[in-house]
Amino acid sequence: MKPRPSRRTGLDPRVETSRLDNGLGVTTVTLPHLHTAVVALFVKVGARFETPKDNGLSHFVEHMLFRGTERFPSSLDLNTAVERLGSTLHAETGRDYTMFQLALEPEHVPAAIDVLGELMSSPRFADIELERTLILEEINEDYDEDDVEINADDIARGLVFGAHPLGQRIIGPRANVARFAATDVRRHFKAFYGARNANLCVAGPVDHGPVVDVAAKALSRMPPGKRAEAPPAPPPRRGPAVKTVPDAGSQTSLSVLFRGVPELDPAYVALVTLLRILDDGMSTRLHYTLADQKGLAYSIHAAIEPLADVSLFEVTGATANAKVPTLVGELLGVLDGLRQGRITEDELAKARVRYRYETLASLDDAAAMAGWFGGTALYFEPPKLSERLAQLSAVTIDRLVEVARAVLAPERLSLAAVGALTKPKVKELEKTVGQWR
């Protein structure tokens, strides 16, 4: 395949999608200015689709897929074949979907698609005990010596979503990982790894037709399967919710979550703008106020995790155990400033400029384009980049305040703190959160 796409002007890249006979969606994002490409396969499977008994199985299957295929019988054979293309097979399991990705020179795109076709049609699922050992080692990072969970991010998500699958850990509990058998792996693979439940996306200097031709040949053995139905997010749980977990060390890890609106909600772009006013550079409120000026944390960050039908507005950081109540109190005070309308036109203008820059920069990032137009498409048609920028330009301070009051509210707050907090400090923290209005 000789990718010779015509050069396109304007902000939005050329995005084309076809559907193969077995139901697999094939999308290309034509980026003629790039010198590398990304080939990514997105499968609609993850923690959201698991029962408590199967929690962690999606992650387990993803790991087992690296254990070889008919043509590449061992993990060494598989990884060697990928690395001969100058690439690395990267995989990632999330709550909403699982991704397999190779970044390489455009001339190797057909070979990369061929590798993914082999992976999806003839996995061996060998060496399960060895892979089990590795995953159990990975789990050890999130538990202390007494088998108590110490991952603040996962604990906080459990507070937000409760017993719903979105509240489950992606890696699953140790007992499940210790129990999963080859029959479980094959059952889960058969249930979710069908062509109708997946999207292939190639981003870079490529043409659509040749990519579809290669995909039709390489992925024809992928069984059609059926499209998975994601259980909808649960109704909001009324907060605030606080959980503290003892852990040795001089610092406490914090995860502060607010249940946000989904990406397709008209308020979502305003929520993204709020995030950037709060934390997008050294001069924004979160770092400047809490780290630079008050010295309450060396680093503290905010982010939004978008899920299919909900989002999480998240602030994470770590501080000395004794400073935890003060840091949380000051953080809530900073959020109060947003809710009370203390936002300037200059801050809004800066957020727009930085968002536009990152949007333009994403056009130089084939992986970002593959994720946007491939992964997102498992749930809904991704908005055009120009549409997002137009929505951002329409955001006003009044709209920001409206969204801040709706999302950054006590009833939407969940907080997890993992560290060596004394009982007085725990009570002080709970009082600080409980008195926030």
The pLDDT score that the predictor gives to residue 299 is: 87
Tokens representing residue 164 in the block: 């719903």
Boundary (domain end) residue, out of 186, 218, 250: 218
What pTM, to 2 d.p., does this model score?
Answer: 0.94
251 and 185 in a common domain: no
Residue 97 lies in a domain: yes
Domain ranges, residue 360: 241-434
CA distances from 314 to 156, 295, 408 (A): 10, 20, 10
- The conformation of residue 143, written as its DSSP 8-state character, comes to B
User: How many distinct structural domains can be found in the chain?
Assistant: 2
Strand-by-strand arrangement of the 241-246 sheet: 241-246, 413-419, 251-260, 311-320, 300-306
Closest CA to 117 of 220, 203, 198: 220
Cβ-contact 400, 340 below 8 angstroms = no
In a domain, 308, yes or no: yes
152: in domain? yes
pLDDT of residue 4: 45
Residues 260 and 405 placed together within one structural domain of the fold: yes
C-alpha distances in Å from residue 106, one per residue of 36, 71, 102, 211, 303: 6, 23, 11, 11, 33
Domain membership flag for residue 269:
yes
Mean pLDDT of the chain: 95
The pLDDT of residue 144 is 86
The pLDDT value recorded for residue 253 is 97
Handedness of CA 309, 40, 204, 210 (dihedral sign): negative
Q: Are residues 253 and 340 in the same domain?
A: yes
The answer to whether residue 339 sits within a structural domain is yes
CATH code for the domain in which residue 306 is found: 3.30.830.10
In a domain, 3, yes or no: no
> 26 φ, ψ to 5°?
-125, 115
Other Cβ atoms less than 10 A from the Cβ of 38: the count is: 28
Q: Are residues 320 and 177 in the same domain?
A: no
User: Phi-psi region for residue 411, left (φ > 0), alpha (ψ -120 to 50) or beta?
Assistant: alpha
Partnered with residue 267 across adjacent β-strands are none
pLDDT value, residue 305: 97
> Could you give the dihedral angle defined by the CA atoms of residues 200, 206, 207 and 211, in that order, rounded to the nearest 10 degrees?
-40
Regarding whether 361 and 300 lie in a shared domain, the answer is yes
In 10 A of CB 134, how many CB atoms? 11
Q: Which residues pair with 250 in a beta bridge?
A: none
Q: Is the domain of 67 the same as that of 179?
A: yes
b/e code 77-91 from CB counts within 10 Å (16+ = b)? ebeebbeebebebee
Cβ-contact 430, 418 below 8 angstroms: no
User: Do both 180 and 263 map to the same domain?
Assistant: no
Residue 7 lies inside a defined structural domain of this protein: no
**Same domain, yes or no, for 280 and 142?**
no
Asked if residue 49 and residue 189 are part of one domain, the reply reads yes
Instruction: Write the CB contacts of 401 (distance below 8 Å, at least 6 apart in sequence).
Output: 338, 339, 340, 341, 343
CB atoms within 10 A of CB 307: 20
Would you call 39 helix, strand, or coil by DSSP?
Answer: strand
Task: For residue 33, give the amino acid letter.
Answer: H
> With contact defined as beta carbons under 8 Å apart, do 20 and 222 qualify?
no
Task: List the chain residues with pLDDT less than 50.
Answer: 1-9
Q: What is the pLDDT of residue 294?
A: 96
Domain shared by 118 and 198, yes or no: yes
192 and 247 share one domain: no
Is 79 within a domain?
yes
Q: What is the rounded CA–CA span in Å between residue 34 and residue 106?
A: 9
Cα gap 256→185, rounded to integer Å: 34
The alpha carbon dihedral of 372, 373, 374, 379 has a sign of positive
Using an 8 Å Cβ cutoff, are 316 and 254 in contact?
A: yes
Q: What is the pLDDT of residue 147?
A: 84
Q: How many beta carbons lie within 10 A of that of residue 71, not counting itself?
A: 14
Same-domain check for residues 297 and 390 = yes
